[in-house]
Amino acid sequence: MENGTVMRLIDHIESHLTDDRDGVLDTAALADLAGYSPFHFIRLFRAAVGLTPADYIRKRRISEIVSRIGREDRPLSDIAFAFGFNSKENFTRAFRREHRISPSDYRRSGSSLRLYPPFSPEERKIRPEASLGFRDELTVVAYPYREKTPPHAWNLYNAERRSLRLSGGTPVEDVGVMKRDPGTGELSYWIGIPEKFAKGDLTGTVRVTIPGGLYAFFRTPEAGRDDFVAAIRYTWEYIRDVWLPQNGYRRKEGCECEIYAEWSRTYRETICIPIEKEEKDG
């Protein structure tokens, strides 16, 4: 599907997110607008945007509602109804499926969510700040989130105010630690605080040690509450697709981590990747 057709569809969707009438945003109507059969339209749209039309519309509607929750002082049910959810309960179920926490948890914690801005084929211009350095071994007292994706794990961690629970009430930096099994590719993920600050309730935690050594450090681009998680995702893509191939290093087996102070509301984090020099043939 050509970019012009994709963007015409995106513009149409964006201008009708609050319109839930039949024949406006359903698959058959969008396919007709694009000039394809519904079967081919779904396949081509997903190839261009990365989501099916229905998934894109659902994520965009929820994202717009989340943005308005932060800006508008009116009942959640009113905002959700404007975007096609016929009851607060239906919206709560959709929100929980998307983010693994309830809208009330989100409103109470003020944490960041992975929102979906309108699709654009243009590449983000601001690159993360990158540096190299040696870091000492660090032990983190953390909760395991092996069955969750990192964004969902952080949603739960922040909504339950687990950082303050671990520290005994003192705001400290939080550390997300990930390790991928080289055989199965399975990701293990933990979130917690450095052991030296862990003076509160440690029930349900484990100790995870991040080895010392040479690391690449990446500071995510400046962001706001609504696009912070997107900035984190972009930084990971930049590390994988741009920085590592261009700088002669490769990921070293071990723990990678994300360091972020939720209480600061600065919406920037540091990603730490253990690295080693890429061996050259010959």
**What is the per-residue pLDDT across 142-175, written as a single tens digit (0 to 9) for each?**
999 976 788 889 988 998 899 999 999 999 999 9
Instruction: Verify that 133 and 267 share a domain, yes or no.
Output: yes
Task: Count up the domains in the chain and report the number.
Answer: 2
Of 109, 137, 155, which residue constitutes the final position of a domain? 109
> Is there a domain that residue 67 lies in?
yes
User: Which residue(s) pair with 251 in the sheet?
Assistant: 275
Terminal CA-to-CA distance of the chain, rounded, Å? 44
How many beta carbons lie within 10 A of that of residue 162, not counting itself?
A: 21
Q: At what angle do helices 38-49 and 53-71 cross, to 10 degrees?
A: 50
Which regions in the chain score pLDDT beneath 50? 282
Tokens of 94: 């959709």
> Is there a domain that residue 122 lies in?
no
Burial environment of residue 102 by CB neighbours within 10 A (0 to 12, 13 to 18, 19 or more):
middle
List pLDDT tens digits, range 38-77.
Answer: 888 999 998 888 889 999 999 999 988 888 876 777 778 8
Q: How many whole angstroms separate alpha carbon 29 and alpha carbon 249?
A: 49
pLDDT of residue 13: 93
Q: How many whole angstroms separate alpha carbon 115 and alpha carbon 167?
A: 29
Q: How many whole angstroms separate alpha carbon 31 and alpha carbon 41?
A: 5
pLDDT of residue 80: 87
Instruction: Verify that 79 and 197 share a domain, yes or no.
Output: no
Burial environment of residue 193 by CB neighbours within 10 A (0 to 12, 13 to 18, 19 or more):
buried
> Is there a domain that residue 115 lies in?
no
Instruction: Verify that 38 and 105 share a domain, yes or no.
Output: yes
> Is there a domain that residue 114 lies in?
no
Of 58, 74, 109, which residue constitutes the final position of a domain? 109
> Is there a domain that residue 120 lies in?
no
Residue ranges making up the domain that contains 40: 3-109
CB 84 within 8 A of CB 40: no
Q: Whose structure tokens read 């005994």?
A: 168
How many beta carbons lie within 10 A of that of residue 195, not counting itself?
A: 16
